[in-house]
Amino acid sequence: MRSSKHTGRKAVLSTPPSPTLPKARTGIQGLDEITGGGLPAGRPTLVCGSAGCGKTMLATEFLVRGAMEFGEPGVFMMFEENAAELTANVRSLGFDLEKLAEQKKIVLDHVHIERSEIEETGEYDLEGLFIRLGHAIDTIGAKRVVLDTVEALFAGLPNHAILRAELRRLFRWLKDRGMTAVITGEKGEGNAITRYGLEEYVADCVIVLDNRVAGQISTRRLRVLKYRGSAHGSNEYPFLIGDRGFSVLPITSLKLDHHASEERIPTGIARLDEMLGGKGIYRGSSVLVSGSPGTGKSSIGAKFAETTCRRGERALLFAYEESAAQIVRNMRSIGVDLEPWLKKGLLQIHASRPTLHGLEHHLVMMHETVRAFLPSVVVIDPISNLTMERDEAEVKPTLMRLIDFLKQEQITSLFTSLTTGGTATTASEDSQVGVSSLMDVWLLLRNSENNGERNRTIYVLKARGMAHSNQVREFVLTDAGIDLVDVYLGSDRVLTGTARVAQLAQERAAAELRNQDHERKLRQLASKRKAIEAQIAALQAEAESEAAEVNFSIAQETMQEKIAQQNADAMAQLRGGAKPVKTAAKATK
Amino acid sequence: MKNTTPAFELRLYVAGQTAKSITAFANLKRICETHLAGQYRIEVIDLMKTPQLAAGDQIIAVPTLVRRLPEPIKKIIGDLSNVERVLVGLNVQPVTA
């Protein structure tokens, strides 16, 4: 009676997107995305897998989330663990079953059958189980039921014919009562989905869990084998059971529809931004920094994170080579101090060994951490460690999921990647072809070795959607920080490091020499000019003295003539006959 | 004291007045009268009326006969049509009379 009252409410609560088949949200991260909204509401779902692959966890979380988040109380009928054990097991995930039971949100019922206690004679049915379940459902008005693992009955009850008939009836009964049920089942031998063929009875939805070990690393995977009346993702999805429960790596890569921001954010290295069209990278884009060992990949990553924090945004650094303390110390040596940001809570460093989990597990953890911290920048240093010993075919889709997820969230990501090939010039590019197509910006760091030293060079291999420099720059790490320096572009070669410095010094010396030469020439010119000027002055003086001499002689002659005239005049006066003398004097004038 | 607490304390769990439960009760009554005369007490529990009692004795199947005393607890499921098996289940020596 109670259940029918709830049916209407559930249709509203748990089936927002699907117009065809009502679905009950599990609240499990990623699972609702894969199934397009959750498990079929009011129908049983079979969750099967081998031992230890998380069937019970999935079932528990389905029930707990239902009770806590979707207002759907549930009954957990367990056939293997008892209530105390289960409560203890899931407490680590933050689920308090005891409290939920007290609040009448869930009922835990442990069905225990001891084969040795039981004798069988004559006909019977499992009405007792039905009554128990029915009673539990009615007590709290349950909408969800978990049977974990109903197959245990096969071990307890010898008459399998009766049992099968009764199980069929049970699932039918659950359906009739409108219970969204999760029934777990052990994986069978060979290709059998379940050991006792439960899939025959539970035909609406089958989810297969799997725990596979490859290269000593185990990965849990989930697959929706069947979902009657609904589209569903048919791939295998990695999942993990983490601190916050079960989570399936959600696939956002089904669609490429993320928003593309016009905003540019700086990388923290001014000259690098300059190379990237002068403004840095687009927000929400992905950057690959690849290079051989010791080319400064991590430094770029750390600098980027620090710059982000400086802007007051959050940065998340996943480190797979160094511990957090080591990174802080090492980065301080190049003038990048991460500690204040760590203390302020703007920066988080998650350091772990890549071999700790499989790639998928790492990625799921990254998802969780990103979800919890909500950073604007994520740095992963390096991805190449994560992808160790993996086929590219396997790695690429997984990374794609991560990148798509980050893009969807408008988180700018920087991945460093160690390339094999050392100083070789082409190997670095080839070894990254797989993941590079996922990246928007690809910076290549390279060691160039000559003159007995190695120098770092950097260039922008690609940068989608922005004008970028095609130049090789020298990448310099100093106490004061990271800088890019123009390399020496000589007539026939590119010089870096001391060769560049030497070449520049040489050029400076040559320039200095030329300078001095010019000055000398100018001085010479000046003294020549002075000499000429002196000559000019001397000649002028000569001319003047000559002119003066000429004038003097002229004056002298004039004077002599005058005196002679006067003498003549005086003589004429003395002689008395003035007239003829006057004429003579006039004539001489 | 011996009269108030008989050696065999039996509980028969049934679910409503079905053919199976009626058969089971009739069978049980007969077996007890034959083999355990005066030493037993039968309590019939109808789970339809008191479903909350099902969990206590871990009842799944009905009818289920539970031997609560003497310990250990024994369970016999089914309509108790096979006398020998019931006796084995109850761990009772058949009275050959």
Minimum distance, in Å, between the CA of residue B65 and any CA atom of chain A: 9
Domain housing A272? 264-486
Other residues' Cβ atoms within 10 Å of the Cβ of residue A83 = 16
Closest by Cβ to B47, choosing from A123, A128, A157: A128
User: Does A270 share its domain with A182?
Assistant: no
Q: Which of A486, A513, A545 is the last residue of a domain?
A: A486
Structure tokens at A14: 């748990």
User: Does A310 share its domain with A369?
Assistant: yes
CATH homologous superfamily of B8-90: Glutaredoxin (3.40.30.10)
**Which class for A524: exposed (0-12), middle (13-18), buried (19 or more C-beta within 10 A)?**
exposed
Half-sphere exposure of A371 (CA within 13 A, CB side): 14
Q: What is the dihedral of CA A397, A400, A401, A406, to 10 degrees?
A: 170
Report H helices in A388-467: 392-408, 427-430, 433-436
B74/A119 touch (CB, cutoff 8 Å), yes or no = yes
User: Does A475 share its domain with A540?
Assistant: no
Please choose, from the candidates A172, A177, A198, A178, the residue with its C-alpha nearest in 3D space to the C-alpha of residue A79: A198
Backbone angles phi, psi at A386, to 5 degrees: -70, -35
Give the sign of the dihedral formed by CA A312, CA A313, CA A314, CA A320. Answer: negative
Q: Which of A248, A278, A295 is the last residue of a domain?
A: A248
Is A501 part of the contact surface with chain B (CB cutoff 8 Å)? no
Q: Which chain A residue shows the shortest CA-CA distance from B59? A: A128
User: Does A211 share its domain with A300?
Assistant: no
In a domain, A572, yes or no: yes
In a domain, A96, yes or no: yes
In a domain, A253, yes or no: no
Is A120 part of the contact surface with chain B (CB cutoff 8 Å)? yes
Instruction: Characterize A172-196 residue by residue with b for buried, 16 or more Cβ atoms within 10 angstroms of its Cβ, and e for exposed.
Output: eebbebbbbbbbbbbbbeeeebbeb
Number of structural domains in chain A: 3
List active site positions of A: 80, 321
User: Does A331 share its domain with A392?
Assistant: yes
> SS3 for A47?
strand
Q: Which residues touch A345 (CB under 8 Å, ≥6 apart)?
A: none
**Which class for A563: exposed (0-12), middle (13-18), buried (19 or more C-beta within 10 A)?**
exposed
A268, A270, A272, A455 from A484: Cα distances, Å: 12, 8, 7, 12
Is A132 part of the contact surface with chain B (CB cutoff 8 Å)? yes
Q: For residue A455, which amino acid is it?
A: N
In a domain, A494, yes or no: no
Please choose, from the candidates A379, A403, A498, the residue with its C-alpha nearest in 3D space to the C-alpha of residue A450: A498
pLDDT in tens, chain A (589 residues): 444 444 444 344 444 444 568 888 888 878 888 888 888 989 999 998 888 788 888 898 899 999 988 999 999 998 888 888 888 888 887 888 888 888 888 898 888 887 777 888 888 888 888 898 999 999 999 899 999 888 888 888 888 888 888 888 998 999 999 999 998 888 877 777 777 877 777 778 889 888 877 766 677 888 888 888 887 777 778 787 777 777 776 555 455 667 788 888 888 888 888 888 888 888 888 888 888 877 888 888 888 999 999 989 999 998 888 888 998 998 888 888 889 999 999 999 988 887 777 677 777 778 888 888 899 999 988 887 776 655 666 677 677 778 888 888 889 999 888 876 544 444 455 555 567 777 888 888 888 777 777 788 888 888 888 888 888 888 888 887 788 877 777 666 677 777 788 888 888 898 999 999 999 999 999 999 999 999 999 999 999 999 999 999 999 999 999 999 999 999 888 887 655 544 444 545 4
User: Does A471 share its domain with A538?
Assistant: no
Domain residue limits, chain B: 8-90
For residue A123, which residues of chain B lie inside 8 Å, CB to CB? 20, 78-79, 81
User: For residue A18, what is the domain's CATH number?
Assistant: 3.40.50.300
Structure tokens at A9: 């409410």
Q: Which residues touch A409 (CB under 8 Å, ≥6 apart)?
A: A370
User: Does A74 share its domain with A214?
Assistant: yes
Give the sign of the dihedral formed by CA A555, CA A560, CA A566, CA A569. Answer: negative
pTM comes to 0.64
**ipTM attached to this prediction:** 0.88
User: Does A517 share its domain with A465?
Assistant: no
Strand partners, A125: B62
Please choose, from the candidates A109, A569, A473, A556, the residue with its C-alpha nearest in 3D space to the C-alpha of residue A272: A473
User: Does A480 share its domain with A385?
Assistant: yes
User: Does A372 share its domain with A449?
Assistant: yes
Please choose, from the candidates B63, B82, B75, B90, the residue with its C-alpha nearest in 3D space to the C-alpha of residue B8: B90
